[in-house]
Amino acid sequence: MNPTRRDALAAALVATATVGSRPPLRGADDNTLTLATFDAEVTIPLGHPCMGGGIAPAKEVIDPLFAYGFVLSGAGKPVVFLALDWCEIRNGAYDQFRDKVAKAVGTDAVRVMLCALHQHDAPIVDLEGQQMLEKAKAKGAICDLAFFEKAVGRVADAAGKCLKAAKPVTHIGTGEGKVEKVASNRRYFDADGKVHFNRTSASRDPKARAGEDGTIDANVKTLSFWNGDTALCALSAYAVHPMSYYGRGGVSADFVGMARKRRQADTPGVMQIYASGCSGNVTAGKYNDGDPNNRPVLADRIHAGMSAAWKATKKTAIKDVTFRSVPLTLDARTSAGFSEEALAKRMKDDPKPFGQCLAALGLSWKKRCDAGKPIDLPVLDFGGPCMTLLPAESYVEFQLAAQKARPNGFVLTAGYGECGPGYIPIERAWKENDGNLSDWSWVDPGSEKRMVEAIEKALKK
C-alpha cells in the first residue's frame, strides 16, 4: 500500500537534527514544491523468462516484484524517479516506459528517471529484441510483450493517481552509512599478484573470496524529502549486484528487497525506495558462496547501512531545484562477433536459445545507435545535494567519478538506467581482458572518456 495512504507516523520517527520549517518553495511555474509517492506490483507470471532467457524461467514467486517512485512537482515540469525490481529495461522498452509515465503525470520523458535494480530472478525487457526473435522463429525468448504492456500501464496509472495525495516539500535530507561485508569488486589479485575477474555474485573459490575488496563504494547514500519535520520519502542507493543466489526459477527481489521491506516497516509513514548504484563490476562474491541462508544475512547488512544513513541524516531547507540532462552517445561494439551480420547469423543459428537472445539484444542496441538516439544522463539538483542516473551496468568507477565532479556536495548515484549498452567498463578492463566483457558488453572501447565527460558536464555547477 502506498505510504501516502497509511497513517502518518513519520513525526514519531527518530531522524536527525531538527531544522525549522519554512514556506514551501516556489518553482519556475510558481507552484508549491510538492512530492507524491506511488508503487505498483510488477511481478512476472510463471513461465516468463528471467534475465532475458539466460536462466530458468519463473517457476514460483518467492516474493513479489514492485515498482516504487516519487513525483516532484513545482520546479518546472514534474520530475519522476522510478525504480523497478526488474533486471533490465532496454532500448524501445525504456523509451515506451518513460513516455507512458510522463504522459500520466504531465511531463516530458526525459524527466522520468527510470532504473532497474538488476535482480536476476526478474525480467529483462527489450521490445525490438523480442520482436526479432519472434520474426526469426527462434527458440530463445527475452520477454513477454503483453505482460510488459500491462505492467507499464499499472505503473503509469499509479503515478498519475498519486498526484492527488501530493504534499509540500520544504527540506531535503542527506545521510550515508557504511555497509559492512557486502560489496567486492569482480577484479582481485591472487597471492602471486595475478589479476582475476572471476568473482561472481556467489563465489565458492577460496582464492576469489580471500582477495581484497577491490574498488567499491562502501557507503549507502540516502536522500530524503521532508515537509517541515515530517519525512515523506527516502531514496537509498548502494553499489552492488543485488543477488545472493539465483537461476532456480524463484522470482525474488533478493536481499535488497528484503532490506527495503524492513526499512519500510521501520518507517511506516515514509516511502522507502532503493536503487542499485553503478555495480557492473561489483558483487557480493567475497562474502557470499550462494548458500540460500546468506540472503537474509546480506539483507541485514544492507538494512544496517540504510539505518545508519537515516540516523546520520542532516536536513537543509530547499532553496533551489533544477533538472538538467546531458545527451550521451556510445558506439555499438565492432569487435569480432558483434557486427550486424555476425549477430544476425547467431540469432538464427546459435544452438543455445540464450545465445539467440544475446544476439537479439546486441542487434537491438545497434539499431538504437544507428538511429542516432543518445542516452539521457539526468541530474536532479538541489543546489548542494543532487541525484543522478547512469546507464546500464556502469562500472563503479563512474559512480566515484560522479562524486569527484561534486567534491563538496552530496551525490546519490543510481545505476541501470537505459540498459541497452550492457557492461560499460573503464578502459583498463579492456586492456586486462576482463572476462565479463566477452558477451554482455555491446559498446566499443573508448566509452570511459565519453562517460566521464558527460558526468562532469551534468554535475559540475
DSSP annotation string for 21-55:
--PPPB-TTSPBPEEEEEEEE-PPPTT--BGGGTB
Task: Tell me the residue range of the domain where 140 lies.
Answer: 3-459
- Apex CA 342: angle with CA 376 and CA 338, to 5°? 35
> What's the pLDDT at 10?
34
Q: Are 329 and 374 in contact (CB under 8 A)?
A: yes
pLDDT, tens digit, 9 for 90 and up, residues 260-280:
999 999 999 999 999 999 999
> What's the pLDDT at 371?
96
> What's the pLDDT at 460?
86
> What's the pLDDT at 13?
29
Q: What is the mean pLDDT of residues 400-426?
A: 97
For cell 525549522, name the residue: 20
Q: How confident is the model at residue 2 (pLDDT cuts 50, 70, 90)?
A: very low
What is the overall mean pLDDT for the chain? 93
Distance CA 236, CA 181 (A): 18
Q: What is the mean pLDDT of residues 437-447?
A: 96
> What's the pLDDT at 461?
67
pLDDT, tens digit, 9 for 90 and up, residues 400-409:
999 999 998 9
Overall domain count for the chain: 1
Q: What is the mean pLDDT of residues 162-185?
A: 98
| 8 pLDDT above the threshold of 80 | no
Q: First vs last Cα of the chain: how many Å apart? A: 38
> What's the pLDDT at 191?
87
> What's the pLDDT at 336?
94
Distance CA 124, CA 55 (A): 11
Tell me the backbone φ, ψ of residue 195, rounded to 5 degrees: -85, 140
> What's the pLDDT at 11?
32
Q: Which of 12-21, 220-229, 311-320, 421-430 is predicted with the least confidence, judged by mean pLDDT?
A: 12-21
The radius of gyration of the chain's CA atoms, rounded to the nearest angstrom, is 21
